[in-house]
Structure 1
């Protein structure tokens, strides 16, 4: 019924547990994983989770490019996207499934518990206010990569935007084409980037990708 797409880059510590917990959800038909040219043991750890499809890219393509490599393998009525660092909390995906497969919404987006995170909140503010400016819609979790959607919406959003622009472009498609969306509170958890040079660089790249997609819009 549902195909799950999991892009992974240097997630050796969580990818196996993420896959196993996703596969434990009855509605999941296939789990597809793409290792985006990781520098650690992500590929080997992913194998231990026994995904239905596992691809290792020879060159890093970024999140959007990695996800695009999985598009040819999608053949179910519903599609989900999941980050590789969810670990055991990946089982919370079940909360997003029922609103979509029942036909109530075209897409369900996961909300995360409020807690202290890295950074100054600039990237999230840009995403929220940018979407409000562009579409008039209020997204509480515009950057959440945990999503369950219909195949129709999936096709409308693919190929995915490059890099970290995936979710922003998808949000713009949702708004432009009038898809019904719901944001669902979950107990999902994942690794947050820290308040160091590496963390700020990561969030800076993400923020630039968001701004680029907001400016580009949807034709």
Structure 2
């Protein structure tokens, strides 16, 4: 009779813990287009404010000495040929590996000395985004920019919630898990809107720090067009409402169509109740068609709301794959 074989048990070994660096890798991201008047100072100021950081300047087809001066100041210079700030941010988020990302414009309008404060807040509270809310006497804003900033921020606040005072600020700090879970779709200045809405929709922990905002350096010109870029941002907000709040979007369309249908049909209905005949048959057909379209819009909203929920769950799972920032804020304290 054969002897039964005894299974050999091997102890299960836990995976070796990955050593956490003592200090976070901080990357300063500077998208640039024709900023020779200020880029050298921006690079120097942020290297002084955040010792040990790496400043990346992404040139977006500049026709001046931006690349030369950024390299001279000690920045890592790379190029993105697709024109537009959103395209540059997409490339930066994809290429650069770091634990903390500081994004700032290259026009020297933001206070570099506040960078350590923003990073400390991100690390101390384990946030995913800290927004640098601009504080100014408004003289550094064009009238159209002031009105547009208030209007667009209010619109986003009404739909997605009020968690920031300055949606269009170009000065922000991000965690790694924000950057690596954010699908950048915008091509231009509407990127700021997309960043904020992404954080609000994912219910990420975010914070805000007030930072001084100053005028541009002499010789530096704003690339933001008040009307063209304002309408692009407004269009982006509309698309984000449609994609992230489809029930509300298509529900409002359904309500508007239903109201128009009822208004058109009411005189026909009252005449029919009095005489038993239907006058103006084309108007009756139009009213019926509008009501059918109203119900179709409502059904589209219900279906897309379910699809959006599934997309949001997938983005959330991707977000959770990256660990939260877990560093001692004292490692950047006093850097300014």
Counterpart for residue 203 of structure 2: 178
1:125-140 alignment, distance < 5 Å: 125-140=150-165
- Which of 164, 175, 179 is the matching residue for 1:154? 179
* Equivalenced residues, count: 212
Q: Could you tell me the TM-score, scaled by structure 1's length?
A: 0.86
- Which of 68, 71, 94 is the matching residue for 2:116? 94
Residue 244 (structure 2) pairs with residue 212 (structure 1): no
The higher relative CO (CA closer than 8 Å, separation ≥ 6) is in: 1
Q: Partner of 1:186: helix, strand, or coil?
A: strand
Provide closer, same or farther for how the CA distance between residues 167 and 201 of structure 1 changes in structure 2, counting only shifts above 3 A. Answer: closer
User: 1:71-99: per-residue Cα shift (whole Å, max 9, x none)?
Assistant: 34321121111110126832322221111
Instruction: Give me the whole-angstrom Cα distance separating, in 2, the residues matched to 1:114 and 1:203.
Output: 19
Q: Which has the higher strand share?
A: 1
Q: Give the Å deviation of 1:6.
A: 0.4
- Which of 43, 52, 59 is the matching residue for 2:67? 43
- Which of 152, 166, 184 is the matching residue for 1:141? 166
Which stretches in structure 1 are left out of the alignment for 5+ residues? 193-197
Alpha-carbon contact 2:136-2:214 (below 8 Å) kept: no
Which stretches in structure 2 are left out of the alignment for 5+ residues? 1-24, 245-307, 309-336
Q: Could you tell me the TM-score, scaled by structure 2's length?
A: 0.58
Asked which structure has the greater CA Rg, the reply is 2
Q: Which has the higher helix share?
A: 2
Q: Which sits farther off after the overlay, 153-162 or 104-113?
A: 153-162
Provide closer, same or farther for how the CA distance between residues 70 and 201 of structure 1 changes in structure 2, counting only shifts above 3 A. Answer: closer
Tell me the C-alpha RMSD between the 2 structures: 2.4
Q: Partner of 1:97: helix, strand, or coil?
A: helix
